[in-house]
């Protein structure tokens, strides 16, 4: 078991003919992901590396039975691509695109309300269930199948953490990047809920960062409902107030969203907090060994 | 992106928001002329910098003659103004805004912003205008009103009435407030704003509702479709190294320490800052070179880091996913050739093409210390600069 994606996930690429779309569609296919269709308006009927291209998401779904889509469409058109996928009832929409205007995302989320779809991102590395399905831009070779679920708002910091986990001999059930923007699809709490229900996930690494209140909400849920050990790290402990740290969402504004408040909330909820980002893997190892 | 008060007011006025008449002036003479054009017995001269707290810092004054406007402008222009938001070095005042003065009966607070929680907009209002809203929120949270706005609907009539009632704006003032909210909403949506803040919103002695101050910020990601707003950018208000970084789409924030960092990915960049601090030193900057950086971008990043005289050592931390380690190494070698590298350099690389990357660095003749992981990298750079 795993969450969100597995060996049966059938994936569309929206924006398959751009440089990023081509590169990562091939990488995902080589990893073993079922890349079943591409969507590029005006290029329907052509193909890329044996993958058929359609004009619309709806048509791609009808012809291939796809149930997931990954979006590399440029920022100006990406929210529209999300809405197109939502309108076609694609169960899982992963949006990699960075730099989407915030109000476009507000509109896209409003459009999605009430539809039976899940959005991951935007501005995220995607999701991977090691050995089964890589639906994103992460370097597949550092992942191993195993018992640890990973949730993160950041890309390369997730790779760093996964590399540490693999290094101490701990594989991963599913690794989910929720994205660094202020308006996103599934948030940290939503993914925690999924991991709570997943029998294959025995423990969770939660990589947070400054800004917003996702970690505080996660802490409340961990305290009340979460049944598995959690190891956390919060990036940006040294970030000054009022300065945006790369991610549009990573800003300590109005005294809220600071690392110390998040760390305190997570500790109070019973999670193990790694203060150094170099100790995420070893902290998880210690937690799981101590329990065994 | 932030703009000046006079620019924000011009935008809001275009959408029908009530703002006092005013003229911007870049010289004492222009300030005097602006006073005369306004024709009132009094006017307010306000320093134009991208920071709050100007009044308390002595950047705002009521004047009653062209001569007074000229004198006060002369006192401000070309000199730094220090407010609680500028830091100790202050911001150089390059323009003043000369505005018709109004007799104020009440000061209120009004703001519109993107609200992550409701995934729409929120209107924030308070009867405690003219103060730091953070302070009001901390001391008297019950005096902060928040109204979520569904973007499929806009500001509904009942929401306007509810806020007006809470702010004790009755009859014509309540109606004027409703019209103002509609104007702000249109301005917000049509310009891709991220914040509009009116502090204070005043009720004048003659009963008019007026935006006495105005602050607007815009979504950088949406500037591509608002060239007229992009033109309002004032490079003089930005840290020069940050403007330079922005040219190469590097995400760079200058900090106070002495270890320069170059990292791919915002989260890993923050984590790198944290681990430097954890080992007893302070980062000189946040720098995310992004996912698809090429050698030219890496070289630009390296130049920006080394141009900061406070930087006593550089730590490069790259986890190559999309970013290839050989590309990074080429960029570093290229930049080190252009700029004389006279501080210690520690490089930690992992991921795609890491072996080629290491080989390029090793055979470059550069004095590079290789690190095996993040903690090792931080330890080494801290030891090399001798803290």
Q: Which residues pair with A69 in a beta bridge?
A: A12, A93
Q: What is the pLDDT of residue B387?
A: 64
Interface test with A, best of B230, B266, B282, B291 (most A CBs within 10 A): B266
- Torsion sign (Cα): B109, A258, B221, B48: positive
For residue B371, whether the previous peptide bond is cis, meaning omega lies within 30 degrees of 0, is no
Tell me if chain A has a CB within 8 Å of the CB of B278. yes
* Mean pLDDT for all residues in chain A: 93
* DSSP codes joined into one string, B89-134: T-EE---EEEEE---EEEEEEEEEEEETTTTEEEEEEES-TTS-HH
Closest in B116, B150, B225 to A182, CB measured: B116
Q: What is the pLDDT of residue A254?
A: 60
Q: Which of A218, A229, A225 is nearest to A266 (CA)?
A: A218
Answer whether B343's CB lies under 8 Å from B384's CB: no
Answer whether B72's CB lies under 8 Å from B121's CB: no
Q: Quick one: chain B helix, strand, coil %, rounded to 5? A: 40, 25, 35
Nearest-Cα distance to chain B for A115, in Å, is 16
Chain A's closest residue to B322, CA to CA, is: A137
The SS3 call for residue B279 is: coil
Query: With contacts defined as CB-CB under 8 Å, which chain A residues touch B264?
Result: 156
Q: Which residues pair with A38 in a beta bridge?
A: A13, A53
Answer whether B329's CB lies under 8 Å from B358's CB: yes
Q: Which helix (H) or strand (E) holds B139?
A: helix B133-139
Nearest-Cα distance to chain B for A62, in Å, is 30
Closest in B192, B277, B286 to A246, CB measured: B286
Residues of chain A below pLDDT 50 = none
Closest in B117, B266, B278 to A276, CB measured: B278
* Contact across the interface for B267 and A156, Cβ inside 8 Å: yes
Closest in B221, B269, B352 to A102, CB measured: B221
Closest in B120, B265, B375 to A156, CB measured: B265
Q: Which residues pair with B300 in a beta bridge?
A: none
Chain B's closest residue to A256, CA to CA, is: B134
* Contact across the interface for B221 and A75, Cβ inside 8 Å: yes
**Cβ within 8 Å of A, B 9-48:** none
Answer whether A47's CB lies under 8 Å from A25's CB: no
Tell me if chain B has a CB within 8 Å of the CB of A243. yes
Interface test with A, best of B270, B275, B377 (most A CBs within 10 A): B270
Q: How many CB atoms lie within 10 A of CB B28?
A: 20
Residue B302 Cα to chain centre, angstroms: 24
Nearest-Cα distance to chain B for A27, in Å, is 11
Residues 6 or more apart from B355 whose CB is under 8 A from it? Answer: none
Nearest-Cα distance to chain A for B201, in Å, is 20
Q: Which of A154, A228, A194, A162 is nearest to A2 (CA)?
A: A194
Quote the CA–CA distance of B309 and A132 in Å, as a whole number.
50
- Beta strands B209-211; B96-100: pairing state: unpaired
Quote the CA–CA distance of B302 and B289 in Å, as a whole number.
10
* Contact across the interface for B222 and A255, Cβ inside 8 Å: no
Tens of pLDDT along chain B (387 residues) come to: 899 999 999 999 999 999 999 999 999 999 999 999 999 899 999 999 998 889 888 999 999 999 999 999 999 999 999 988 887 888 899 999 999 999 999 999 999 999 888 889 999 999 998 877 878 888 888 888 999 999 999 999 999 999 999 999 999 999 999 999 999 999 999 999 999 999 999 999 999 999 999 999 999 999 999 999 999 998 888 878 888 888 888 889 888 899 999 999 899 999 999 999 999 999 999 999 887 677 788 888 888 888 888 999 999 999 887 677 888 888 888 888 887 788 999 999 988 788 898 899 888 888 888 898 999 999 999 999 886
* Contact across the interface for A137 and B273, Cβ inside 8 Å: no
* Contact across the interface for B321 and A109, Cβ inside 8 Å: no
DSSP at A200? T
Tell me if chain B has a CB within 8 Å of the CB of A125. yes
- Buried b / exposed e over B345-383, threshold 16 CB at 10 Å, is bbbbbbbbbbeebbebbeebebebbebebbbebbbbbbe
* Contact across the interface for B268 and A209, Cβ inside 8 Å: no
Answer whether B168's CB lies under 8 Å from B127's CB: yes
Closest in B266, B278, B374 to A245, CB measured: B266
Nearest-Cα distance to chain B for A180, in Å, is 9
Chain A's closest residue to B86, CA to CA, is: A242
Number of helices (H), then strands (E), belonging to chain A: the values are: 9, 14
pLDDT in tens, A256-292: 688 999 999 999 999 999 999 999 999 999 999 986 5
Answer whether B347's CB lies under 8 Å from B369's CB: yes
List domains and CATH numbers for chain B.
Answer: 1-20+104-238 (3.30.470.20), 21-101 (3.30.1490.20), 240-384 (3.40.50.261)
Tokens 């923050």 — which residue?
A: B270
Closest in A102, A103, A246 to B266, CB measured: A246
Q: What is the pLDDT of residue A252?
A: 66
User: Is residue B252 flagged as an active site residue?
Assistant: no
Q: What is the pLDDT of residue B217?
A: 94
Tokens of residue B269, six digits: 């960049």
Tokens of residue A244, six digits: 């945006």
Query: With contacts defined as CB-CB under 8 Å, which chain B residues touch A158?
Result: 267
For residue A122, whether the previous peptide bond is cis, meaning omega lies within 30 degrees of 0, is yes
* DSSP codes joined into one string, A125-137: -EEEETTTEEEES
Q: What is the pLDDT of residue A83?
A: 98
Q: Which helix (H) or strand (E) holds A261?
A: helix A259-268
Tokens of residue B141, six digits: 């949270």
pLDDT in tens, A147-180: 999 999 988 999 999 999 999 999 999 999 999 8
Nearest-Cα distance to chain A for B46, in Å, is 24
Query: With contacts defined as CB-CB under 8 Å, which chain A residues touch B270?
Result: 157, 209-210, 235-236, 238-239, 245-246, 250
**Cβ within 8 Å of B, A 16-75:** 20, 75
Tell me if chain B has a CB within 8 Å of the CB of A163. yes
Q: What is the pLDDT of residue B157?
A: 96
* Contact across the interface for A101 and B192, Cβ inside 8 Å: yes
**SS3 string of B323-377?**
CCHHHHHHHHHHHHHHCCCCCCEEEEEEECCHHHHHHHHHCCCCCEEECCCHHHH
Q: Quick one: chain A helix, strand, coil %, rounded to 5? A: 35, 25, 40
CA distances from B117 to A261, A279, B36, B114, B153 (A): 18, 32, 48, 9, 17
Answer whether A31's CB lies under 8 Å from A140's CB: yes
Nearest-Cα distance to chain A for B101, in Å, is 30
- Please list the alpha-helical segments (H only) found in A100-210: 102-112, 156-167, 188-197
Tell me if chain A has a CB within 8 Å of the CB of B351. yes
User: Is residue B109 flagged as an active site residue?
Assistant: yes
The SS3 call for residue B235 is: helix
Quote the CA–CA distance of A246 and B269 in Å, as a whole number.
9
**ipTM of the prediction:** 0.91
């Amino acid at each position: 078991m795993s969450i969100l994606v597995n060996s049966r996930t059938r994936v569309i690429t929206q924006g398959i003919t751009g440089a990023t779309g081509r590169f990562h569609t091939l990488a995902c296919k080589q990893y073993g992901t079922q890349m079943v269709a591409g969507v590029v308006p005006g290029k329907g009927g052509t193909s890329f590396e044996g993958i058929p291209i359609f004009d619309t998401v709806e048509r791609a779904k009808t012809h291939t039975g796809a149930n997931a889509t990954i979006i590399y469409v440029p920022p100006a058109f990406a929210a529209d691509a999300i809405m197109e996928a939502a309108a076609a009832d694609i169960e899982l929409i992963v949006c990699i695109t960075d730099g989407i205007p915030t109000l476009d995302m507000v509109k896209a989320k409003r459009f999605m309300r009430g539809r039976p779809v899940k959005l991951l991102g935007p501005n995220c590395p995607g999701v991977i269930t090691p050995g089964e399905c890589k639906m994103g831009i992460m370097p597949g070779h550092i992942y191993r199948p195993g018992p640890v679920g990973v949730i993160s708002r950041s890309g390369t910091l997730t790779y760093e953490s996964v590399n540490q986990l693999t290094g101490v001999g701990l594989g991963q059930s599913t690794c989910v990047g929720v994205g660094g923007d202020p308006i996103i699809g599934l948030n940290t709490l939503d993914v925690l809920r999924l991991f709570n229900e997943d029998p294959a996930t025995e423990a969770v690494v939660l990589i947070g960062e400054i800004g917003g209140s996702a970690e505080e909400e996660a802490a409340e849920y961990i305290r009340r409902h979460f049944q598995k050990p959690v190891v956390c790290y919060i990036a940006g402990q040294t970030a000054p107030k009022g300065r945006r740290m790369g991610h549009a969402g990573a800003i300590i504004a109005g005294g809220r969203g600071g690392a110390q408040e998040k760390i305190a909330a997570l500790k109070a909820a019973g999670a193990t907090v790694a203060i150094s980002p170099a100790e995420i893997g070893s902290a998880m190892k210690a937690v799981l060994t101590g329990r065994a | 992106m932030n703009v000046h008060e006079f620019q924000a007011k011009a935008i809001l006025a275009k959408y029908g928001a009530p703002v006092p008449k005013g003229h911007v002036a870049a010289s004492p003479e222009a300030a005097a002329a602006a006073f005369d054009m306004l024709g009132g017995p009094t006017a307010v001269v306000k320093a134009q910098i991208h920071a709050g707290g100007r009044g308390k810092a002595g950047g705002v004054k009521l004047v009653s003659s062209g001569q007074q406007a000229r004198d006060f402008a002369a006192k401000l222009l070309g000199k730094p103004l220090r407010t609680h938001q500028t830091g100790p070095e202050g911001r150089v005042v390059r323009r003043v805004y000369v505005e018709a003065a109004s007799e104020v009966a009440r000061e209120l607070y009004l703001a519109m912003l993107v609200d992550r929680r409701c995934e729409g907009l929120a209107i924030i209002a308070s009867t405690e205008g003219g103060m730091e809203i953070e302070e009001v929120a901390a001391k008297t949270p019950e005096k902060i009103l928040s109204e979520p706005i569904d973007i499929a609907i806009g500001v509904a009539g009942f929401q306007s009435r509810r806020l007006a009632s809470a702010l004790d704006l009755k009859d014509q003032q309540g109606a004027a407030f409703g019209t103002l909210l509609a104007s702000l909403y249109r301005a917000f949506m049509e310009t891709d704003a991220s914040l509009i803040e009116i502090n204070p919103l005043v009720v004048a002695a003659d009963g008019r509702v007026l935006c006495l101050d105005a602050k607007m910020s815009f979504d950088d990601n949406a500037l591509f479709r608002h060239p007229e707003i992009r033109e309002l950018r004032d490079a003089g208000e930005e840290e020069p190294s940050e403007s330079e970084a922005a040219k190469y789409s590097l995400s760079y924030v200058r900090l106070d320490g002495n270890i320069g960092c170059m990292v791919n990915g915002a989260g890993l960049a923050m984590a790198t800052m944290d681990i430097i601090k954890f080992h007893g030193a302070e980062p000189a900057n946040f720098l995310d070179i992004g996912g698809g950086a090429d050698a030219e971008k890496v070289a630009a990043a390296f130049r920006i880091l080394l141009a900061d005289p406070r930087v006593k050592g550089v730590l490069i931390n790259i986890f190559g996913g999309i970013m290839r380690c050989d590309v990074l190494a080429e960029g570093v070698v290229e930049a080190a050739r252009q700029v004389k590298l006279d501080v210690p350099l520690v490089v930690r690389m992992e991921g795609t093409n890491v072996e080629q990357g290491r080989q390029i660095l090793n055979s470059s003749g550069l004095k590079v210390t290789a690190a095996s992981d993040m903690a090792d990298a931080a330890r080494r750079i801290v030891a090399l600069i001798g803290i």
